[in-house]
């Protein structure tokens, strides 16, 4: 009987090791020393982890989350972080601090405010020297690596997420997904035009949109048409694509995982938390949540 039990346990362990989708993933809380509870954004720059908090600014860890220290951007709400080479940008609002876009060229320790200093910034994306900032008033663009910012023609929508893929720029707004094919000069609304979009991500030519209530929608034709996936009735705040493996962070319902490019989903992180952001560094996946920062070692 004991031999039978040991054999069953061994088979289950082996099965879980070989196939991540068959067992709940192991997410470890690495938030010791962090303040602020909610972490809207996480990013990796030169092996350092940056975590943007709701009220306490940006924190940095140089040892994979074992310890954290506050940076010079140590107050206010950090909504988003974006890395471009050795420069990292932070989108902020004024809850206890300054608002607008800040940048750092020393791995996130010290920060300088850009000319976009009078708007809440909810999303950022960088492509070369072009920095796109999503605000409640629309998208601003800087063609000088953040030095000077100008409003684009997408200027009457609250922009929660920005995705750059090839020559296409997608904007997730409170009224659906917009597309620009000319670096933000003009924008067209896609067929997903009646939903609040919190997150955008892509796997090759497949686009994923995290919506407010109807889960994840998928487009395989550059946004001309969209279909709902089986992860319906979820408020999806963040999406990460690693090949055909898709992580979807939800509001109050943890993380869902798809290993077939969004066709089917299982729950990867079952704690009743809001998952606001993801960051990937080699085999490590980091998640910014309503209860700190979590790490999953994707071996």
Greatest pairwise CA separation for the chain in angstroms: 73
* Confidence (pLDDT) at 1: 46
**Runs of H (alpha helix) within the chain:** 2-18
27-76 pLDDT, tens per residue?
999 998 887 678 999 999 998 999 999 889 999 999 989 999 999 999 88
164-213 pLDDT, tens per residue?
999 999 999 999 999 999 999 999 999 999 999 999 999 999 999 999 98
Cα 18 to Cα 124: distance, rounded to the nearest angstrom:
36
- Short-list 141, 22, 36, 32, CA closest to 79: 36
Cα 97 to Cα 66: distance, rounded to the nearest angstrom:
27
Q: Where are the domains of the chain?
A: 26-297
The residues that bridge with 151 in the sheet, in sequence order, are 140
pLDDT band, residue 8 (cuts 50/70/90):
very low
Cα 202 to Cα 135: distance, rounded to the nearest angstrom:
22
Mean pLDDT estimate for the chain: 88
| Residue 152, CA distances (Å) to 30, 149, 169 in order | 39, 9, 12
pLDDT exceeds 60 at position 21? no
pLDDT: is 297 or 212 the higher one?
212
Provide mean pLDDT across the span 260-276: 91
Provide mean pLDDT across the span 119-135: 94
Cα 92 to Cα 54: distance, rounded to the nearest angstrom:
9
* Confidence (pLDDT) at 24: 54
Contact 25, 296 (CB under 8 A): yes
| Residue 23, CA distances (Å) to 16, 17, 18, 195, 272 in order | 5, 9, 10, 32, 18
* Confidence (pLDDT) at 34: 86
Provide mean pLDDT across the span 220-228: 94
26-297: CATH architecture: 7 Propeller (2.130)
pLDDT band, residue 265 (cuts 50/70/90):
very high
Starting at the earlier edge strand, list the strands of the sheet with 255-258.
236-242, 245-250, 255-258, 266-269
* Confidence (pLDDT) at 174: 96
**pTM of the predicted protein model:** 0.89
- Short-list 90, 91, 61, 55, CA closest to 74: 55
Provide mean pLDDT across the span 100-109: 95
Phi (first) and psi of residue 220, to 5 degrees: -115, 10
């Amino acid at each position: 009987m004991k031999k039978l039990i040991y054999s069953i346990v061994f088979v289950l362990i082996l099965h879980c090791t070989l196939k991540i989708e068959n067992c709940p993933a192991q997410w470890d809380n690495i938030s010791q020393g962090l303040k602020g509870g909610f972490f809207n954004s996480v990013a990796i720059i030169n092996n350092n982890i940056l975590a943007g908090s709701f009220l306490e600014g940006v924190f940095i860890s140089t040892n994979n989350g074992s310890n954290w220290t506050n940076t010079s951007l140590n107050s206010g709400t950090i909504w988003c972080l974006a890395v471009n080479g050795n420069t990292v940008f932070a989108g902020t609002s004024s809850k206890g601090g300054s608002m607008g876009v800040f940048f750092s060229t020393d791995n996130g320790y010290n920060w300088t405010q850009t000319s976009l200093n009078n708007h809440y910034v909810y999303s950022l994306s960088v492509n070369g020297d072009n920095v796109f900032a999503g605000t409640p008033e629309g998208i601003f663009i800087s063609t000088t690596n953040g030095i000077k910012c100008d409003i684009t023609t997408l200027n009457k929508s609250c922009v929660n997420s920005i995705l750059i893929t090839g020559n296409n720029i997608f904007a997730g707004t409170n009224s659906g997904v917009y597309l620009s094919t000319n670096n933000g000069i003009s924008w067209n609304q896609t067929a997903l035009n009646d939903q609040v979009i919190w997150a955008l991500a892509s796997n090759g030519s497949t686009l994923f949109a995290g919506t407010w209530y109807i889960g994840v929608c998928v487009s395989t034709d550059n946004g001309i048409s969209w279909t709902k996936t089986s992860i319906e009735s979820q408020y999806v705040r963040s999406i990460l694509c690693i090949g055909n493996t898709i992580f979807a962070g939800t509001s109050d319902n943890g993380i869902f995982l798809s290993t077939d490019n969004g066709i089917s989903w299982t729950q990867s992180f079952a704690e009743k938390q809001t998952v606001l952001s993801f960051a990937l560094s080699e085999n490590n996946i980091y998640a910014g949540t309503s209860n700190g920062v979590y790490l999953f070692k994707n071996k």
